[in-house]
Structure 1
Amino acid sequence: MTLLDVPFADVRGDTLRWTLAPIPCTPLACRTVSLTAGLTVTLSVLGASHQVVVRRHGRPLLHETVACGIAEASPLPAAHAAGGYRLASHVGEMRPEELAAQASRLVERLEGRTDAVVAHFPGDPHAVTALALDKVGERQITWNTWHTYPQTGEIVATTTSYRPEEVTSV
């Protein structure tokens, strides 16, 4: 787990934007995981936001960015499918003690994994952004992300599956 040295910004799940366009971002925390056939997946925390980049032999195949303040991006959809790319998102609202328990379980479950990145913001132990690979097969990669917003009682979760061989453009 990475303790970030930046303040947690007050945002809400409904302010998150989504794009597959390559957006240059400087991650606050990241992890690159090498897979088979020259594939790598870089999981990056961008504050209360994330970016995932899939590459083959160093060449970008996919950029997925979910963040606030991206003017050219769309609101985070509940579902999107194009070619071999599929995204599902959910905003869960809960009481403060439920969110605290969920955030704690998430951090505990991902702690020590080499295929995940978890970032914690100072000032609130339950302000967390986390990304983790879920399933990695020969033809499909699946990852999950979680963005917790203790000030609004929200957890935004996404699940993405990507089939690099089926995608000509997303």
Structure 2
Amino acid sequence: MQSILEVPYADTGADQLCLSFDEPLLPALSTVHCAFERAGLTLRLLGASHQVRVVTADTETVETLACLPGRPPTLPTHIDAPSISFRSRIEQHDAASLTALAARVSDQALGPHSLIGHYPGHPNAFTAIIATDLGHRARWDTWHAYPQTGDVVVTSSVFEAVR
């Protein structure tokens, strides 16, 4: 689902992001629910990036990647926990390659298990989440574009359902 977000572009940069798995649900600007084989996912765009809520018969997990007041910026390159793995990288783009990436991700985010928000005032400022049902696992990939610096934070998370 494509959304034009009704808020000004809020994130200051990739170096200000914080990853959390214990943040409560924050107010969302746009959401999409995905009913997968073993998990329900809610993709949530925030004024400051994203949350993905995963609910199974046994557990609930909320991944938050955002500028979180009162928390120091922490963006690990990888985490491997019993039920979730997380990978991130920061790509550097010039204006032309960022425009091409924004178009490519927008095209990929047309499916029912995806959500992309475009921020007003910056044509290449966007946050996107694309989820995939892998049976006993659920995967989501995200892109957070910062056109003022050319940075794009790309993440990939895989949640392993117990049953």
Change in Cα spacing, 1:11 to 1:74, as seen in structure 2 (3 Å) is: closer
Deviations 1:138-159 (A, max 9, x none): 3111110100010110110100
Give the alignment partner of residue 121 of structure 1, picking from 103, 119, 122: 119
Partners of 2:76 and 2:51 in 1: CA distance: 16
Number of residue pairs aligned between Structure 1 and Structure 2? 162
Percent identical = 30
1:19-168 to structure 2, matched below 5 A, reads 19-37=20-38, 39-56=39-56, 61-72=60-71, 75-111=74-110, 113-134=111-132, 136-165=133-162
Q: Please, which runs of 5 or more residues in structure 1 have no aligned partner?
A: none
Structure 1 runs, 4 residues or longer, greater than 4 Å off: none
Deviations 1:35-57 (A, max 9, x none): 124x2100011124110001125
Deviations 1:52-101 (A, max 9, x none): 001125x7521100000243466010001111210000100111111111
Q: CA RMSD in A?
A: 1.8
Taking structure 1 as the reference length, what is the TM-score of the superposition?
Answer: 0.88
SS in 2 for 1:75: coil
Cα deviation for residue 10 of structure 1 reads 4.9
Task: Report if the CA contact (8 A) 1:48-1:128 is conserved.
Answer: no
Change in Cα spacing, 1:70 to 1:88, as seen in structure 2 (3 Å) is: farther
Q: Please, which runs of 5 or more residues in structure 2 have no aligned partner?
A: none
Taking structure 2 as the reference length, what is the TM-score of the superposition?
Answer: 0.92
Task: Report if the CA contact (8 A) 1:41-1:52 is conserved.
Answer: yes
Task: Report if the CA contact (8 A) 2:15-2:73 is conserved.
Answer: no
